[in-house]
Structure 1
Amino acid sequence: MSASITLAGESQIALKQSQKKPLIITRFIFANVPGLNPETPVDRAAGKPSAGQIVQVYDIPEQNAGFVNPNQVVYSCQLGSDIGDWDFNWVGLEDAEGVLFAVSYVPLQQKRKNIPPQQIGNNVTRNFLVAFDGAMQLTGVKIDASTWQHDFTVRLAGIDERERLSNREMYGRACFFGKALAFAKSENGFQLNAGTAYIEGIRVFMSKPWPFTGVIPVGTITLDVCLERQLNDRVATWKVVYGEKGDYTDAAGVRHYCVPLAYYASATEIYDARPAEPIAGALMQHFAARDGDYANLRARGTTKEDVELGNLPNAKSDDPNTNSSEILATTAALNKLQKQVGDSMTGMVAGFSMSWPPEGWLRCNGAAVSRTTYARLFAMLGAHYGAGDGLTTFNLPDMRGLFPRGWDDGRGVDPSRAFGTFQDMMIHSHAHTASAAAVGDHLHAAWTDAQGNHVHRTWTDAQGNHNHSAPSAPGVGQGAGGPNTIQMSGGAHETSWAGNHAHNVGMDAAGHHAHNVGVGGGGAHTHGVTVTATGGNETRPKNLALLFCIKY
């Protein structure tokens, strides 16, 4: 059986939408078309059957048109037992302008009139569902179809939910068969592998890998699965979203279930987050249910004697504080212990050697997070690190780029410091001393340049006018020459007056020589020293960059 809107019907939809006029469907047409195969697709280009093949026309009352949703309307025809006799295998819808709007092929069916006592007639009800964008608005249908049709929606939804819950009890929250839907590299980038998975009881199946397009952001890759209504059915649909996402209900009231597939750190760092099982065939074979023997299950050989407990059923406790080697802890005790440990760590800050937070931790990046989702952490931190939006969120501490420091808490090492506050860098006040070694008492050499070969002039002072006398001797007297002569024995000698004169004195050159100069000692003293600055734009020790997270 097949049904479709005709090409003429599609043209009517476009025309009425452009004219902003309603599309009015007015009648059913029943026909018996010889040789019609109900399994073949509808010939959308064909027109109405010939007049000789049309067996019945039914005018649709206004109350027999209803809407299923904004994009689906249904028209209903009720033929009573007073109508007949004829057969039909073709059903059509016609609009007020005589345009064949939609066609359905059906197996050959009989319509018989009630003619007592020879023949018992039958009633025939036919519903025609048409779907296109804006169908309810364009056709002007305002009656909810559920008010006049037999509505199996609730029952069918209940069947779907019962099946989902049955699968949920078998497969749990999420179960991936082997490598099904695993995030992996492909020839052109990345893909989700083909295969089967059950998410909250909804079966997800991909016959071939699903490729990723565009840039993949760093973080969690999540699978979003739901049972979505499509026409008159509910089918499993899924999509891939980025980031951590919890289960939610959309605007149409459909419940969505979200499970992580992988954590994408980089093209070379991909971490599988799927809870996978090595299921490669039928579950009966996988669980070895044919003989009930699990060869790898150690518990089948364990006895009370193995664990030295003579009263095994009574040697158990739900109290995680029980300290006895003769008592086994129950799962209740383990859950309590886990809660005690987890609760005691809430608000704890730790550094991790990976670039993403582990489960149960949040990045210390100052982000605003939900006060209800992280209620226990909010109860401890409050708005100390920021009030978020002041109503639904609060801020986490921001440790990015910082070293942790112990709170002074009254010790006096870091006084007047409020708890949990930021402190900028600082260098302790100090001075640098510098000195130069004393050189002691010493001399500094000095000299004059050589003067070359030279002479020193000298002289005698003038004597004035004078005479030179000679000693007297016998027979000596004034000569005949007068006063300027001296008469000496043996003959006469005469001299003149010397007059005013000087006597020159000559001196030899000193030769090429130098004159030494002496300089006194400088005494003990020091010389000033200048020290230049060094270093970078902050003070820090050798360190390792870690991701600081807080336990919630």
Structure 2
Amino acid sequence: MSASITLAGEGQIALKHSQKKPLIISKFIFANVPLLDPEVPVDRAAGKPPAGQIVHVYDIPKENAGFVNPNQIVYSAQLGSDIGDWDFNWVGLEDADGLLFAVSYVPLQQKRKNIPPQQIGNNVTRNFLVAFDGAMQLTGVTVDASTWQHDFTVRLAGIDERERLSNRDVYGRACFFGDSLAFAKTADGFQLNPGTAYIEGVRVFLAKPLPINGVIPEGKITLDVCLERQLNDRVATWKVVYGEQADYTDAAGVRHYCVRIAHYTPPTAFWDERLPEPIGGPLVQHFAARDGDYATLRARGTTKVDVELGNLPNAKSDDPDTNSSEILATTAALNRLKTQVGDSMAGMVAAFAMDVPPPGWLRCNGAVVSRKTYAALFARIGVVFGVGDDSTTFGLPDLRGLFLRGKDDGRGLDPSRVLGSFQDMMIHSHGHTASAAAVGDHGHSAWTDAQGNHAHRAWTDAQGAHNHSAPSSPGIGQGAGGINSVQQAAGAHETSWAGQHAHNIGMDAAGNHAHNVGIGAGGAHTHGVTVAAAGGTETRPKNMALLFCIKY
């Protein structure tokens, strides 16, 4: 992955400086450039990709620009899950004049829109850091990037400051190891010698001699040291300045420490103004005791004169309240003082990182204890946490599994509370909103599948053996006694026997066809949303379990 300010961007910096106008970076441009190799250096002479390759343009809000230090500005694009779908491998910055200011090549990235339930979208944040001399002043950005970036800048800055102060306690205002960073004459001019130094606790290290070029003015030569933010780190930076310079804080809020290292009188005269120490290696080796004599260390014997025995007081006292420097405190006085300190703490509650209370403390577990044995504690808390047997015992506070809360004492945040009262858990009254988008007037289509060419069968059931009657008619038949003959006598008639049979019914084929089904429009409507419950059996912040005890 590579990134760089374009050649046009460099020209724009110079132009804005000359015009005394601000450089305003206004847009992020995202593009998908075919066959782009993210590992090759950026083509600083190239312009924006063709319009067909640009997949998204993001207008940078004013609050999404912040400074890291006076020479570094970071711009941020925050793309929510309502944006997409597109891929990108090219990111550019465009200024308010429409000029491509900076470009970054990245591996192909995906930006997807949230389309439930078919697709889960993603949020994408892209930060673009540009660095050039005077960036903060030229862009007019005055907001510290740490105020909107989620990082650990404040925490790390605190660690850095504590380390600096620890070094300051050891090395003092300035400590130069031997001839490190000494101003020295060379055959070609002047240089700073390599080595290690601590300036106000900031470690300065120079690996090799540093030539000092150009004209050196007469007067003081000063080392300007600070812990400067660079990206997500803070590193020791320093420079050589000329003249008397006091400590100061720059425009980015960084503290600079200035220490004189030399005084120069042209053309060649100078003298050293450092505070060097004869340290040639690790401090442990430098200060470690070893056999033999130390040339620069004198140890006196433990004689009466050495320890000033003649000045010891010749009286003693049992009074722990005396402040006389002429008497010694006895063991009795110390024990009385210990009792006074212990009594003043009776009733104090503290947390311990152990399972067993230390001496002088009781568990805050609601136990009932003796009023006589723990008289000092009973005198302080009485029966606030339980009357015990109302005669010889009293109750301790029960803080097991509880958080502690300060007594309101008239402030009004937790009114009407009395000391030692219990308060159950509660969540501040609030509501959850939910909505579903209206889908508009629409219809739902439906259909049946074609069944192919087929026939529909039909039939009648068998009727059993029966006769078919006919109207009376004389002289029908083939002759006397022949088959199918009909004989008539006295108004009655007879037909032939039909036998058991069925009557079949046939139906024609319907042909290849489908059955259509119509469904009416649903009308404009919304779909209800159900918000599921979440959480556990109680409300609590992140916490750590410790043992609460009370001093008796």
- Output the TM-score relative to the length of structure 2: 0.44
- Output the TM-score relative to the length of structure 1: 0.44
Q: Which has the larger radius of gyration?
A: 1
